[in-house]
Chain A
Amino acid sequence: MDKALVIDVGKCTGCRQCELACSYEHTGTFNPARSRITVFDFHEKARFVPYTCTQCDQAWCQQVCPVGAISNENGVKVVDAATCVGCKVCTIACPFGTVNYEPASGKVIKCDLCGGDPACARACPTEAIVFADVAVQGFEKMRAWAEKTDTAPQASA
């Protein structure tokens, strides 16, 4: 994976254009409930946090899928909806909560980086979400966070 979603929470204004863009890109409707990215509103701290899958190396979701419905395409973990049976085991195995069951389709959904041109980054008016080279510092910060949990050591060599 050469590029990743780099999120700068300091720049997010909570406009939720990313959620709408994601939903539209994947479902053809403007429905935040079907978005793969969620903006959390910590209003007491005046902070908004866009939150989605970091395409972690551990790939808990892919490892656990009982029917091989999640593939690793150059580091991006992609759900094949036709193969997914909707068992949801990936939704509890992913310790980040970024694979979710979508009752509307009976399948699980997660960020697939829109095949290389993420709609959320395109829609973000403040560059809080950018699709950038992995060398960018913010990405390393996110990786560090992803690996901070006690769950990490088992799947990393």
Chain B
Amino acid sequence: MHHLIIGAGPAGVRAAEALRAYDPQAKITLIDGEGEAPYSRMAIPYFLSGKIGEQGTWLHRPLEFYAENGIDLVRGRAAKVDAGTKTVTLEDGQSLSYDKLLLASGARAVNPPVEGLEGDLVHHCWTIDDARAIEKLAGKGARVTLMGAGFIGSIILEALVMRGADLTVVEIEDRMVPRMLDETAGNMLKAWCEKKGVKVLTSTRIGGVYEGGGELNIALSNGETLKADLLVVAAGVTPNIECMDGTGVEKRTGVVVNARMETSLPDVWAAGDCAEGCDFSTGDLSTLAIQPVAVEQAVIAAKNMAGIEAEYHCALPMNVLETLGLVTTSFGKHDGLEEGARATLLDADEWRYIRLEFNDGKLIGAQTVGHVSMAGCLRGLIQGRMPLGPWEDVLKTQPHRVAEAYVDLSRGVS
């Protein structure tokens, strides 16, 4: 039995590890497209801020892990999958056959349709190679513009400030992290960043970028022009699924998977940012592109590849972000449902906010600012679909007591 895995990010590596445990005799091959020690993109901001070295981003230390566990690490990028002959051709022409294939090829950063995003002073912050380039350009006092204050932009923001860069953030939407935080929370985060000396321009678009004299001129929709030594583009990602072209696999934004992480092709599974599976909050398909979903899907895929039946319960959108010391979280249907109910508690002076969304006697979504204690309970309550009983009324007036509610309901104190 040969398990072939395309992609050596968290999903690919976790799947390889799980396959080794569940199918000890099988041959396992992991294709890495970046030529690096398999690492985690989530650790990049901490590399950029100087908290860790490059090795600190590695998924496994020491690197001998792969050889010691009988996992062949092959360098190269998958160019084409042929599900009929069960082979994967790499860009260098090398051909690998498989019995079972896992597509864990992840996603890549994309550019919005803006003129001038190609030069040497413009970078994404997605790969470790991007980070190395930013490290060179974003020194103390460097004028840096960040395009996009979404989740990734906001997490890089802190690293850029810690490097001593003179930072301006430009976001199209009316607040920071619009897909994760509501107006109150997103604008609290903006005010917090401004208090820390970061210029944050919301409802502002970058019209074009022009390089001249070793610096960038960045034209904004408000008529201003920013001068910068570096532009970091954090404007979204798209799944790497081109190698599946011509296979006839069912796809939308990503490759569509069922609860067992099977694609529409025999003996081909998918997990992580390239996969589009059931979304807990909507019941529809989505690509959430978050670490917990990537590794949880990877374990489910590995089990099924090893012949152990396992089903995923659907991916719950969730994020945690720390921006210059302010922690924000978001879970599930954080913007609620029209037919549902809502509770909010704001303490603007203390930079604390909590919003809970209810429906049908259960918690369906939540977001917090400035709360760090027992955040995981929000996942437990939402994904566990726990009936709140008498706690529903309590939480509607005192939403900060949510951890207490969880402990009471789950430990059956009543």
Contact = CB atoms under 8 A, between A and B. Distances in A.
Contacts of B342: none
Contact of B411 (A49, A83, A149): A49
A89 B413 contact: no
Contacts of B308: 157
Contacts of B300: 154
A91 interface: yes
Nearest to B319: A92
B320 A67 contact: no
B292 A151 contact: no
28 contacts: A9-B411, A42-B404, A51-B407, A60-B292, A63-B299, A64-B292, A66-B40, A66-B41, A83-B61, A85-B51, A86-B322, A88-B327, A91-B375, A92-B318, A92-B376, A93-B379, A96-B377, A99-B376, A100-B374, A100-B375, A101-B372, A103-B372, A149-B383, A149-B386, A150-B313, A154-B310, A154-B311, A155-B296
A151 B379 contact: yes
Interface string B49-64: 0011000111111000
User: Is the interface on chain A under 10, 10 to 19, 20 to 34, or 35 or more residues?
Assistant: 35 or more
Contacts of B296: 63-64, 154-155
Contact of B383 (A95, A101, A145): A95
A68 B374 contact: no
B14 interface: yes
Nearest to B312: A154
Interface string B302-333: 01000010111100001110100001010100
B381 to A, nearest CB: 8
A157 B310 CA distance: 6
A145 B413 CA distance: 12
Contacts of B404: 40, 42
A87 interface: yes
Interface in B220-271: none
Query: Which among A67, A83, A94 has the highest number of chain B CB atoms within 10 Å?
Result: A67
B60 A68 contact: yes
A116 interface: no
Contact of A95 (B10, B373, B380): B380
Interface of A: 9, 38, 40, 42, 45, 47, 49, 51, 60, 63-64, 66-68, 83, 85-89, 91-101, 103, 145, 148-151, 153-155, 157
Given A40-B407, A92-B319, A93-B379, A85 B372 contact: no
B407 A87 contact: no
B14 A63 contact: yes
A92 B380 CA distance: 9
B216 interface: no
Contacts of A98: 374, 376
Nearest to B46: A85
Interface string B398-411: 00000110111011
A92 B372 CA distance: 10
Interface string B363-389: 000000000111111111001111000
B291 interface: yes
Given A148-B384, A149-B383, 8 more contacts: A9-B413, A40-B404, A66-B59, A87-B46, A92-B292, A96-B377, A98-B376, A151-B313
B142 interface: no
Nearest to A90: B376
A103 to B, nearest CB: 7
B318 A151 contact: no
B412 A42 contact: no
A24 to B, nearest CB: 20
A145 B14 contact: no
Nearest to B57: A67
B43 interface: yes
A83 B53 CA distance: 11
Contacts of B403: 40, 97
Interface string B270-295: 00000000000000000000011001
B374 A97 contact: yes
A17 B105 CA distance: 50
B42 interface: yes
Contacts of B85: none
A68 B246 CA distance: 37
